[in-house]
């Protein structure tokens, strides 16, 4: 039986057919997505690595390698610094890289021509670090316009729908950015095919996500959920 969150998300998805909110499936699987990474002005990427280390530590205690957690990291290209290896570390740990634009901004307020330019700039910059084509784009604040959709459809290799999530992003502002609140909030959106959303991008947000993930991942494990990338959720289930 569908839970309340699942029912609501399914209804919202009908209203916005140009976006992806969840994957209809009966399999106990969710996609983990992390926005705004890496953190700007963090030359050693220590804040983002907190999130990676939390996932890696969870995976180390799993007996079955097939159950290891993998996530999709939505990268802001202006947050990348020359020489960073954080993208390679994400890929080496089995995670997926996706496009979250050039800056942490409400992209729906950007003029259409500027948005298209920034979309392409972010794609080129992020691709330089991961050495592979990108598939997913998530707009800032989860808002989009018809002009943005038209621009997205010109991007080779990209899905022609925006990658949104099964939950509103409320873990970046006080007082809802506390780990205890994040744990309880995210737990309400655990259902087959859900797309979970947490944040990096600042030292505070990354620390909150790292702390909350310890409990969230254990909770998902106890409920026998597999945690995968967005592409795995979309292609395999």
Q: Would you write out the chain's pLDDT as a tens digit for each of its 237 residues?
A: 468 999 999 999 999 999 999 999 999 999 999 999 999 999 999 999 999 999 999 999 998 988 999 999 999 999 999 999 999 999 999 999 999 999 999 999 999 999 999 999 999 999 999 999 999 999 999 999 999 999 999 999 999 999 999 999 899 988 899 999 999 999 999 999 999 999 999 999 999 999 999 999 999 999 999 999 999 999 999
pLDDT recorded at residue 9: 97
> Yes or no: is domain 4-60+69-236 CATH 3.40.50.2300?
no
Q: Mind spelling out the 3-state secondary structure of the chain?
A: CCCHHHHHHHHHHHHCCCEECECCCCCCEEEEEEEEECCCCCCCCHHHHHHHHHHHHHHHCCCCHHHCCCEEEEECHHHCCCCCCHHHHHHHCCCEEEECCCCCCCHHHCCHHHHHHHHHHHHHHHHHHHCCCCCCECCHHHCCCHHHHHHHCCCCCCCCCEECCCCCCCCCCCCCCCHHHHHHHHHCCCCCCEEEEEECCCHHHHHHHHHHHHHHHHHHHHCCCEEECHHHHHHHC
pLDDT recorded at residue 169: 87
pLDDT recorded at residue 2: 65
Enumerate the domain spans of the chain.
4-60+69-236
pLDDT recorded at residue 237: 97
């Amino acid at each position: 039986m569908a839970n309340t969150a699942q029912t609501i998300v399914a209804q919202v998805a009908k209203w916005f057919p140009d976006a992806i909110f969840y994957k209809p499936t009966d399999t106990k699987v969710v996609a983990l997505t992390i926005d705004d990474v890496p953190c700007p002005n963090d030359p050693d990427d220590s804040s983002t690595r907190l999130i990676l280390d939390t996932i890696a530590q969870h995976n180390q205690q799993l007996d079955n390698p097939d159950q290891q957690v993998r996530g999709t990291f939505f990268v802001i290209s202006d947050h990348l610094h020359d020489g960073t290896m954080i993208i390679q570390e994400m890929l080496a740990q089995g995670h997926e890289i996706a496009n979250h634009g050039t800056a942490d901004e409400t992209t729906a307020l950007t003029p259409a021509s500027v948005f298209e330019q920034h979309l392409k700039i972010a794609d080129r910059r992020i691709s330089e670090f991961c050495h592979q084509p990108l598939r997913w784009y998530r707009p800032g604040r989860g808002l989009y316009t018809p002009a943005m959709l038209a621009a997205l459809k010109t991007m080779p290799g990209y899905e022609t729908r925006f990658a949104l999530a099964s939950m509103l992003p409320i873990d970046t502002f006080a007082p809802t950015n506390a780990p205890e609140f994040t744990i309880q909030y995210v737990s309400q959106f655990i259902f087959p095919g859900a797309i979970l959303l947490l944040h990096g991008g600042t030292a505070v947000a990354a620390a909150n996500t790292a702390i909350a993930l310890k409990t969230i991942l254990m909770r998902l494990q106890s409920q026998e959920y597999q945690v995968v990338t967005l592409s795995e959720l979309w292609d395999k289930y």
